[in-house]
Structure 1
Amino acid sequence: MAFHQKLNLLMDQFHISNSKLSKELNVDASLVSRWRNGQRIPSTRSAHLPIIASYFLTQHGYSYQQEFIRKILDDHKLVVPHIDDPTELLSDWFINEKATNIVEATTKATQQAAATFIEKFKDMMNMPKSGSLPPQVSIPVISLGKTERNYYVFKENDGRRHAILYLLQTISDLPSPTDIYLISEEDMSWLSEDRSFQVQWGTYLRNIILQGHRIHIIHMVNRDSNELLQALSLWIPLHLMGSIQSYYYPKYTAPLVKHTWFIVKDVCMITSSSVTQQQAENICYLSHDLESIQAYQSMFIGRIQDCKPLVEVFRIDQHLLLLSKLAASTSNISPTTSLHYHINSLFLPDSVFLRYSKTLVSDQRKEYIDLIRKWRTRIFQSLSLAPYTDIFPSSALKELASYTYKHYDPTFFGLTPIEITDDEANEMLKNIQHVLKEYEMFNVYLINQTSKETEISVNITLKENTDSFFTTTVSPGIPFLGLYVHEGNILHSLSYYLDDIIVQIPSLRRNKQETMKEIEKIMK
């Protein structure tokens, strides 16, 4: 069976439509359609395969449907006995031509389910009819005792925002740092529709982090791209301030009942639940009841057990670890897009790295230079195999020729800008010229730093379907260098974000020949 036949088989078995699957996987419905008619086949390394597999494995359907999935896994385990993980096993079944033909098993499972239903229906229809009423049962009077609790009700998005601001102010007024637990599976319109509230929300969170409070948050990464980007624009800069632990569910499920819990440990909490998020459901509750708060705290910690860390944060004392992670990432050949607010460190002369290495302790110097060489070698090897798009402000080129250029890149030089000499600045311009001429798939796009494109105020390097690195654009005065993310939906949303930036750049600023002319003009 081919991939499209297997996908059609599972979608028919679970009664999944194209639109439903595309929504759950956060892909376009037309892509699902092409998968089903055989026009598109995911590659063996496609990030979509484990997501599709995980989706079907988490469908809690009828017993015959669950038995159908188990049959696939059991049969395919005989083909690939070295694979134990169910997600990997089902992913391999989709693309493995040696996979067992299970059409016969499907037919039997369906016939058995139909036969079971018919027998149960017959039994129900043959039940004796009786006109007599059931015997009277005495019902005791139940006393509520002393379990009554007080809570506050807030209606619609305006009320929800009011409750959240109260909770944030309560945290700010606490005498000592505490733990905060956040999860929201519901619609995020309460945040997205009010720009002034977004500013208040972000300001409170920054102050809370600076006060030493610890935030634990479970992100819903199966949201649409716009909601994910809004979350990134808020949470990525906050992560670089530290004291945040982020998690996500590796199984991309959409719960029927969606919950929101904002909990301040042993102090207060906001809770809400909804199915359709209609007006009647748009209610949240604020409570100070300790027993209730502790019950929700326990449930939150229980949910974390099924989660994975969403981001990896690197402190200043993990400088070489971050650099090692970056060097390892470059071994994966895939299209790369880099958005930053300085000249790419790729073009720095060797003398800059050697000079900085002397500021390190002696046993780190050789490791630092070796990692730099490994990173640069792999980058230049990949430039002839995959596209590389480098995006930065046009003003950075002019700063380079101003005789006062200081290069800031936390990945390579920590949180302190490094001074560049006039000769080194000239060599950087020559290096950019050389790479633009030498590698057809390498492009430099120049943006206006004051335009809309600076919404996410961090440097981003994205390797398509692989991973992404984030670093600060200016020294924040705190000991954090950067973040590493490899979750599929985050990478997918970042691709949309960077594509949108590229589309807004005037064509003249995306023309390689014009960029080279501008560099030549600056050099003169």
Structure 2
Amino acid sequence: MMQPTEKLKLMMDYFGISNNELAKALMVDPSLVSRWLNGQRLLKASSVPMDALAEYILARSQRVYDIEWLKAQFEKDGLPTDISTVYRTKQNLIMWLASDGEALRRNLGSSPSALVTKESILKKTRTFSVNDSESLVKIGYLDIALGLEPLLAELADESGVDIFLSNDEIATVVSEDVSRLLLHMIAKSKLRIRLLVCISGNTQAMSRLIDTYMQSLVSGHIRLSVVHGLTQTVTNQMHLIIPEKYAVLITETPKNAAPSVAMIISDAAFVQETQKSFEQTIRYAQPVLNIYGDDYSRNILEIIYSEFATPGALDVVKDNINPMYMTPYAYDRFLGTQGHNEEELSWRSAEFIRFKSGMDETLKGGAVFREILSLARLNKIAQDGFCRMPGLYFMNKGFVILDAEGCAAILSGYVHYLNCVPNFNLLILDDITLLHANNCWQLKQNHHVAINHWSGPEPVMIHSDQLLLVREFQAHFDSLWAQGEGFIGNRSGVTAILQDVLIRLKESNLSKGG
């Protein structure tokens, strides 16, 4: 087990604190810090410097991952990791760093009278009277996140949580501590959130909210709805409802000058009534996103048609390749491998021709198309000799495996359009962000956004014609395009990359006997 001096040095290294900085923060002589580090002076749990040191470290722990690092150190040292309040975290810090911390822990576990002694010592460290281990009141983003964590952790996979924001300017929901916790729970247990927001007209506030949760909006784990709210209130409210279990009421001042305050309520009647009120409110809200399941129904086909085959600029970022650039002959050839009868083949072929001819007319009319592809994905296709994509591109459900010949037909189609259509633009980035992994964004500028997401067991299409959302996704696309423009975005460079992938794809197919 590490010595207290080693723990102090480890902590100072993690937070990047020098001897002089710590001395200044604790208002002690720098030589005293040096003596603590070399063991010449003891830093005891009941001392004034120990209390100040714990307060200083808590102030430096501005992010959830700082608390997680501290929890990891506590766990290694055998301290309890149930630190759901700032006060409990401070207790652990003192026990971990103090020269007499180990002796106090042994006494705490062996003698009831020692518990009283320890509590009397720790009373000196209490700064928030409402933040003791039994309190349901949390103050500040970090304390709120720590209070929410055990409530969300006990939920079963794919559980639902409802969040209501009385104002889109509330800062708690976009704070790094709270948003990181919610995003972590979405990734870990597929948490599903209905987010209902009263919009005030502050586009910057709504932009922050969408940007913070964009990945979960894309994956469909957050369903965003809006109602029009007041532009000025006495306080802003955030309600987080875990159905039939808890209602967490969070209040903050409009200017956010004071720490946010949260109350965790488990009274069954209150939780039930709060849930009923949420259901009544969301009934009159306007969904910002429409989420379609794995269905190639007429409305989804018409969304895709409107993107490619109606006047107007189109932007696409795709972690895949686009069958729209196949020839009708190549499309029909692949359809013939899917086991369709003659009637099914006929209508699918006719639909593709309708899409393809509409796209060509749109491009002839001067509409600018911009598409971004991932070089990492292209290299994988060349290596594998096939491409997995949503079946809706071939008017099927589920997924299809497009063979090497079909992949080659699409890549050749890209080259053809680059050579023949000056207003068709293609950018190939080394890799695209996790936000775009396993999905395709299609933005009809100033009209709508459609996202085909296929990281789950079934493909999902997300569609929105709400301009506030379209603008945010458009700004993200423009930023992504600007990052790569002028690097390998010139037409000859992109064409050379596609031709190289084509050669490797054909070689891979030949080596596998294709």
Name the CA distance, whole Å, in 2 between partners of 1:332 and 1:179: 38
For the 8 Å contact 1:265–1:293, the answer to whether it is kept is yes
User: 1: distance between equivalents of 2:160 and 2:219?
Assistant: 20
Decide whether the 8 Å contact of 2:307 with 2:442 is kept in 1.
no
| Alignment CA distance shift 1:517-1:258 (3 Å) | same
Give the whole-Å Cα distance in 1 for the aligned partners of 2:289 and 2:478.
22
Give 2:461's match in structure 1, choosing from 473, 478, 482. 482
The structure-2 alpha-carbon separation of the partners of 1:318 and 1:188, relative to structure 1 and needing over 3 Å to count, comes to farther
> Who is 1:20 aligned against?
none
Shift of 1:265: 2.0
TM-score by length of 2: 0.62
What is the match of residue 232 of structure 1?
214
Counterpart check, 1:293 vs 2:271: yes
Q: 1:312 to 1:410 in 2, by over 3 A?
A: farther
Whole-Å Cα distance in 1 between the matches of residues 253 and 190 of structure 2? Answer: 32
The one of 459, 479, 504 aligned to 1:500: 479
Q: Say whether the 8 Å CA contact 2:169–2:206 is kept in structure 1.
A: no
- 1:480 Cα deviation (Å)? 3.8
CA deviations 1:89-118 (Å, max 9, x no partner) are: xxxxxxxxxxxxxxxxxxxxxxxxxxxxxx
Q: Secondary structure of the residue that 1:508 maps to in structure 2?
A: coil
Q: What corresponds to 1:167 in structure 2?
A: 151
The AA in structure 2 aligned to 1:505 is G
Contact kept, 8 Å, 2:237 with 2:251, in 1: the verdict is yes
What amino acid is the match of 1:270? V
**Do the aligned partners of 2:448 and 2:463 also contact (CA within 8 Å) in 1?**
yes
Q: Which amino acid aligns with 2:410?
A: M
Q: How far apart, in 1, do the equivalents of 2:198 and 2:475 lie?
A: 18
C-alpha separation in 2, matches of 1:361 and 1:469: 31
Whether the 8 Å contact between 1:187 and 1:277 is mirrored in structure 2 is no
1:462 matched to 2:443: yes
Distance apart, 1:219 and its partner CA: 4.2
User: Who is 1:201 aligned against?
Assistant: 182
- 2:404 — aligned with what? 421
Aligned length: 358
Could you tell me how far 1:208 is from its partner in structure 2? 4.7
1:180 aligned counterpart, secondary structure = strand
Q: In structure 2, what is the Cα distance between the partners aligned to 1:363 and 1:293?
A: 55
- The 5 Å alignment of 1:99-248 reads 152-172=136-156, 180-184=161-165, 185=167, 187=169, 189-190=171-172, 192-194=174-176, 198=179, 200-206=181-187, 208-209=189-190, 215-219=193-197, 222=203, 223-239=205-221, 245-248=223-226
Q: Among residues 362, 368, 379, which one is paired with 2:348 in the alignment?
A: 368
| 1:404 Cα deviation from its structure 2 partner | 0.9
Corresponding position of 1:513: 492
2:393 matched to 1:412?
A: yes
In 1, the alpha carbon distance for the partners of 2:293 and 2:469 equals 22
Distance 2:140 2:256 in 1: 9
Identity of aligned residues (%): 11
For residue 445 of structure 1, what is the amino acid of its counterpart? L
Structure 1 Cα separation of the partners of residues 489 and 300 of structure 2:
31
Query: What corresponds to 2:248 in structure 1?
Result: 270
Residues 167/233 of structure 1: CA separation in 2 closer, same or farther (3 Å cut): same
Letter in 1 for 2:480: I
The structural deviation recorded for 1:409 is: 3.8
Counterpart selection for 2:367 from 360, 367, 386: 386
Amino acid at match of 2:261: I
Q: Deviations over 1:3-44 (max 9, x none)?
A: xxxxxxxxxxxxxxxxxxxxxxxxxxxxxxxxxxxxxxxxxx
- CA gap of 1:199–1:281, structure 2 versus 1, over 3 A, is closer
Q: The residue matched to 1:171 in structure 2 has which SS?
A: coil
Asked whether the 8 Å contact 2:160–2:242 carries over to 1, the reply is: yes
Judged with a 3 Å threshold, the aligned counterparts in structure 2 of structure 1 residues 365 and 325 are, in CA distance, closer, same or farther, namely farther
Match of 2:261 in 1: 283
Change (3 A) 1:276 1:410: farther
Decide whether the 8 Å contact of 1:387 with 1:441 is kept in 2: yes
> 1:279 offset after TM fit, Å?
4.4
Amino acid of the structure 2 residue aligned with 1:338: V
> Is the contact between residue 288 and residue 469 of structure 2 (CA under 8 Å) also seen in structure 1?
no
Shift in Å at residue 227 of structure 1? 3.1
Shift of 1:316: 1.8
Distance, in Å, in 1 between the alignment partners of 2:436 and 2:402 is 26
1:283 and 1:361 map into 2 onto residues whose CA distance is: 64
Q: Is the 8 A contact 2:162 2:194 kept in 1?
A: yes
Aligned mates of 1:163, 1:187 — CA distance in 2: 22
Q: TM-score, normalised by structure 1?
A: 0.60
Please give the per-residue CA displacement for 1:449-500, whole angstroms capped at 9, x wherever unaligned.
Answer: 1x6x3434332111111111112254x22x3432111111111011110111
Which of residues 286, 293, 306 in structure 2 aligns to 1:315? 293
Instruction: Provide the rounded CA distance (Å) in 2 between the counterparts of 1:203 and 1:230.
Output: 13
- Does 1 or 2 have the higher relative contact order (CA < 8 Å, sep 6+)? 1
- Superposition pairs for residues 75-114 of structure 1, below 5 Å? none
Q: Tell me the distance in 2 between the aligned counterparts of 1:368 and 1:321.
A: 15
Q: In the alignment, is residue 433 of structure 1 matched against residue 415 of structure 2?
A: yes
RMSD over aligned Cα, in angstroms? 3.2
Q: Distance in 1 between matches of 2:189 and 2:197?
A: 19
Question: Relative to structure 1, is the Cα distance of residues 520 and 170 closer, same or farther in structure 2, using a 3 angstrom cutoff?
Answer: closer
Answer yes or no: is 1:472 the counterpart of 2:453: yes
- Output the amino acid matched with 2:375: S
Deviation track 1:288-345 (CA, whole Å, cap 9, x = no partner) reads 1122223322321222133122222222244554223211444542221100111222
Distance 2:308 2:230 in 1: 32
User: Aligned residue for 2:99?
Assistant: none
In 2, the alpha carbon distance for the partners of 1:188 and 1:509 equals 41
Q: Which runs of 5+ in 2 are unaligned?
A: 1-133, 504-514
When residues 262 and 368 of structure 1 are mapped into structure 2, their CA distance, relative to the original with a 3 A threshold, is farther
Give the whole-Å Cα distance in 2 for the aligned partners of 1:371 and 1:247: 34
Provide the rounded CA distance (Å) in 1 between the counterparts of 2:373 and 2:460: 20
1:368/1:273 CA distance change after superposition, 3 Å: farther
Report the residue type matching 2:254 in the other structure.
Answer: T
AA aligned to 2:404 is: T
User: 2:289 is matched by which residue type in structure 1?
Assistant: V
* C-alpha contact (below 8 Å) 2:307/2:443 kept by paired residues: no
Whole-angstrom CA distance in 2 between matches of 1:441 and 1:164: 51
Contact 2:220 2:291 in 1 (8 A): no
